[in-house]
Amino acid sequence: MPLKGKFDKENLGCLYMPINVKDPEYAKAEQAYHEAQTPEQKLLFLKKMITHAPKHKGTENLLKQFTQRRKKLEQEIVKAKKSGKGTKQGIKKDDMQAVIIGKTNSGKSTLLSKLTNNKVQASQFPFTTKVPEVGMMSYAGTSVQLIEIPAIDSEYYDRGIVNTADTIILLINSMDEIEKIKVELKSSYGNQIIVYNKIDLLNENEKRKLDATFKSKKYNFVLISAKTHEGFENLKEKIFESFNKIRVYTKEPGKEKSNRPIILNPNSRVKDVAEKILKGFSKKIRETKIWGPSSKFAGQKVGLTHKIKDLDIIEFKTH
């Protein structure tokens, strides 16, 4: 397969990308990799490149290069942590991570508090948030990591976390804030949701006009009131759907399914579920049964290559 090279400015060698890679997610990850500022960010996007790279004989060398580079980054991160210097301290990224960004006093702290278990106190004074605040939002049996970033117009704004987040929530109080905020998101990777806050200050006619304006511009948006909770369920649904993940439950023989699902990418297989539980676990499995959307009948026996679907239930028996 013909290849083209792209020099890696962080001295990690030459990145080679197959010319005929058509997956847009691969292209986004490759661009984000080169724009990443820290080894942690580079590792995140390199893993995305590995996930979306073509898997066939012609790309064996490409994937070997990626694996070597991944190991080198991991070693660099471990070495820096041991020495206590070199890498920027970050927040451990969960399966689904969204950041809330906006101008000062836009309602970020209030929104985080009411969506999650983080009861951060909102303030009427500008620029009170100086470090990222983290909370967990429960939805459809899953947990979503929400991070409030210091105001986009403050010196504490953290581009690194924003650029690596899966989803970016643009919290605004007026339409003219949108383009000003989007200027700061040129290197971001995540899906964007525009959240218009404080609609409790609008009458029904004003809400209809605002809704029509957003639709005419084809924005992905939600109208909410952090004060009255209007629009909150719609917002939670949009946040969850923005990750494009599937939920898979596991069960032990003779018992009910687990309470919390395992979060995976679409087109994952039974082996991916097993490895998510424990690395190397798939080698110990002697039988797998499945219930749900991907099964032909309840309790169907399937192999490790069986492709799973959202809300499947899997039972493993080991050697």
**Same structural domain, 268 and 299:** yes
The predicted pLDDT at position 90 comes to 60
Q: pLDDT tens digit string along 43-92? A: 888 888 888 887 777 778 888 888 888 888 888 877 766 654 443 446 77
Largest CA distance in the chain: 65
Tell me which long-range contacts 3-6 makes (C-beta under 8 A, separation of at least 24).
3/62, 6/30, 6/34
**Same structural domain, 110 and 228:** yes
**Same structural domain, 123 and 229:** yes
DSSP result, 19-32? TT---HHHHHHHHH
The CATH number given to whatever domain includes residue 165 is: 3.40.50.300
Look up residue 211 and give its two tokens: 């809704």
Helix (H, G, I), strand (E, B) or coil at 108: helix
**Same structural domain, 144 and 227:** yes
**Cβ(285)–Cβ(221) under 8 Å?**
no
Please give the span between the terminal C-alpha atoms of the chain, in angstroms, as a whole number: 41
Question: Does the residue 92 lie in any domain?
Answer: no
**Same structural domain, 230 and 300:** no
Task: Compute the distance between CA of residue 205 and CA of residue 100 in angstroms, rounded to an integer.
Answer: 28
The CATH number given to whatever domain includes residue 309 is: 3.10.20.30
CA dihedral sign, ordered 54, 57, 62, 67? positive
Helix (H, G, I), strand (E, B) or coil at 315: strand
Question: Does the residue 106 lie in any domain?
Answer: yes
The predicted pLDDT at position 130 comes to 72
**Same structural domain, 72 and 193:** no
**Same structural domain, 231 and 279:** no
The predicted pLDDT at position 23 comes to 72
Domain coverage including residue 28: 3-83
The predicted pLDDT at position 30 comes to 81
Task: Compute the distance between CA of residue 264 and CA of residue 51 in angstroms, rounded to an integer.
Answer: 12
Question: Does the residue 187 lie in any domain?
Answer: yes
Q: Which residues of the chain have pLDDT under 70?
A: 1-22, 35-37, 80-90, 119-129
**Same structural domain, 118 and 186:** yes
Which has the closest alpha carbon to 188: 163, 223, 221? 163
Strand pairing partners for 97? 145
The predicted pLDDT at position 3 comes to 39
Question: Does the residue 91 lie in any domain?
Answer: no
Backbone angles phi, psi at 36, to 5 degrees: -65, 145
Q: What pTM was computed for the model?
A: 0.67
Question: Does the residue 88 lie in any domain?
Answer: no
Domain closes at, from 224, 242, 260: 242
Pairing of strands 221-223, 142-148: unpaired
**Cβ(66)–Cβ(53) under 8 Å?**
yes
Q: Which residue carries 């383009």 as its tokens?
A: 179
Question: Does the residue 89 lie in any domain?
Answer: no
**Same structural domain, 300 and 192:** no
Q: How many domains would you assign to the chain? A: 3
Task: Compute the distance between CA of residue 69 and CA of residue 131 in angstroms, rounded to an integer.
Answer: 31
**Cβ(222)–Cβ(262) under 8 Å?**
no
**Same structural domain, 171 and 286:** no
Backbone angles phi, psi at 226, to 5 degrees: -65, -20
Question: Does the residue 150 lie in any domain?
Answer: yes
**Same structural domain, 237 and 299:** no
Look up residue 16 and give its two tokens: 């080679």
Q: pLDDT tens digit string along 41-56? A: 788 888 888 888 877 7
Task: Compute the distance between CA of residue 187 and CA of residue 164 in angstroms, rounded to an integer.
Answer: 9
Question: Does the residue 168 lie in any domain?
Answer: yes
Domain closes at, from 214, 242, 270: 242
How far are the Cα atoms of 59, 94, 163, 227, 267 from residue 40, in angstroms, in the given order? Answer: 25, 14, 12, 37, 26
**Same structural domain, 111 and 235:** yes
